[in-house]
Amino acid sequence: MNRGAPLSLALAIGLVLLAAPAPDAQEAKAGDADVRTVEWKDLVPAGFNPDQLLRKYYADVAPLKDNDPRAERLAEKLRSAWENAPVVAALDKKMVKLSGFLVTLEGDGISVSEFLLVPFLGACIHVPPPPSNQIVLVRTAARPFKVKQIFEIVTVTGRLRTQAMRNDMASASYVIDATRVEAQSR
């Protein structure tokens, strides 16, 4: 997350990105009976509304100048709320299939062994990133995924865990140990 970007611009970008549609989840194939196809909305508990939270902070920040200390304090509250977004505990340790955009964390430019799966193009590059319950850390240690293009759309199958992960790029509330990663055509 780039903490130096003007706050009003960051909040405006966040509102636009939250409205962007996520890639469609791929239907489960025969033999995947124990795999549940989930969509991004399934990772958000009932009652947690990141759009409402963003609008609340934006309404408080909009009249302030970017260098106003009150704006910085409100931005920090928003970052903290999104980094600590609640999870759906019932999904813990379930086999799932989820589609999204790949943001490389570990790899050599050809193969990726660890990446973030995000619901929209550009998440984690723009500020603010999505709430942590809309970011999934994917580990492919058994078989690295061959990358064809930057920000590739992929479908990941594997065991989902409700586990917080934080790094310089983003905070994730879920981890998938991938058994399969498939590229999707755009």
The widest CA-to-CA distance across the chain, in whole angstroms, is 57
The 10 Å Cβ neighbour count of residue 122 is 15
Question: In this structure, which amino acid lies at residue 59?
Answer: A
Residues 127/183, Cβ–Cβ less than 8 Å:
no
- CA dist., res. 95 & res. 158, Å (int): 5
- CA dist., res. 180 & res. 96, Å (int): 11
pLDDT of residue 122: 62
Q: Where are the alpha helices (DSSP H) in the chain?
A: 7-19, 50-61, 69-83
For the chain, give every domain's residue range: 7-183
- CA dist., res. 185 & res. 129, Å (int): 25
Residues 115/106, Cβ–Cβ less than 8 Å:
yes
Q: What is the pLDDT along the chain (186 residues), one digit of tens a residue?
A: 444 444 443 433 343 334 444 443 333 443 457 999 999 999 999 988 877 767 776 777 777 777 888 778 877 877 788 888 999 999 999 999 999 998 888 877 778 888 899 998 766 555 667 889 999 999 987 777 787 766 788 999 999 999 999 887 789 999 999 999 998 876
CATH topology of domain 7-183: OB fold (Dihydrolipoamide Acetyltransferase, E2P) (2.40.50)
Q: What is the pTM of this model?
A: 0.74
Residues 35/97, Cβ–Cβ less than 8 Å:
yes
